[in-house]
Structures are given as structure tokens and as C-alpha cells.
Amino acid sequence: MKAVVWLGIVTAAAWSWYQAVPAAQYRGDAARVFDGISSVLSSPRCANCHITGDTPLQGDDAHPHAMRVRRGTDGRGTPAMRCSTCHQEASSVTPHAPPGAPDWHLPPAATPMAWKGLTPGDQCRMLKDPARNGHRTLADLLAHAARDPIVVASWSPGPERPLPPMSHEAFVAHFTRWIELGAVCPE
């Protein structure tokens, strides 16, 4: 009987060690994959609207939005200056004109998901925190990254605007892989 118990303990310990090696590798892989996601979140296409405070940014140098634009209570501007006044259903073909997408808006003030100045690890932890991400699950976040019209419009912002640092397809693939690997955050 003692031999059977001993064999069970040794087998369980060996199995735990065997499982720990791939798990550690997956954690490292997930954190590295998130670095690619972070490069998009930190780009002006995302960071200019995912802001702290009430004033969106604009341009590749992230200067305060012209005309004293404000977030407003619903993220769509103030009654006198709605986002859709300038941001139409699609990006303009005129260089440096406002980018566009249906229902252009900023994230709500309660969950701004402000990326600027955060490390990839801090971005990741904020992204996963339901209290700060609008109570979204990982599946909800992936759907947002893959299909939200404003997110998708980041890759067609109009002429003479740089695109995010990877294609939309690569961004979604990184996001998917990060989730598959356990959605581990970088340090």
C-alpha cells in the first residue's frame, strides 16, 4: 500500500513539473504577444481618443484637439459640438481631414481606457480589469478589437495619416493568440 501511495506522489510531482514548464513558456509567450497589442494601443490612432480627462488629442504629435472639443457626458461631445459634426460616417479623402466611422465617439468618461504613458503591463492590466474596461470579458474585448467600426477605421484614417504599427488582421491575430495563451500581462 505504501508503495502505491509513494508511486502516486512521485507521479503527481512529475506531472506538476512537466505541466509547469509549458505553462511558464505560455506565460512568457502571452506577455510577448501583448507587446504587439500595446504598440497599437499606444499609437495615435488609439491613444488620441483613449485619454485621461475630457479633451481628446489629435495629430501624430498628440496635441489637444482644436476648437476646444470636449468628451461630453456620453462621449459624443457637448450639445454645441458633437463629434459627428466633423467626424462623418467614413474618413475623408482630403488629406488631414477628420477621420470617420459610424457613430464617432470617445470612450465613456467612466472607462476611458487611457493608454498614453502606460507601460505594456499597465495597459494589459487595465484592459483585463472589468471595473476599468466597461465590464467586458476577454471575448467582448476581442470582438471590439475585431469589429468595432471606430477601431477598424484606425486602419483607414484618410490620406497622409500613419497607420497603426501592424495591420488590423495582425492586431486581431495577436489579440486572439494572447487570449489563447492565457491573457498574461507583461511585467
Q: What is the pLDDT of residues 20-59, one digit of tens each?
A: 445 556 677 888 999 999 999 999 999 999 999 999 999 9
The predicted-structure confidence for 122-163, as pLDDT tens digits, reads as follows 999 999 999 999 999 999 999 999 999 999 999 999 999 999
Report yes or no: 111 and 173 within 8 Å, Cβ to Cβ. no
Name, in order, each residue with C-beta under 8 angstroms of 57's C-beta and a sequence gap of 6 or more: 44, 47, 48, 49, 51, 63, 64, 65, 116
Q: Which of 73, 72, 52 shows the shortest CA–CA distance to 62?
A: 52
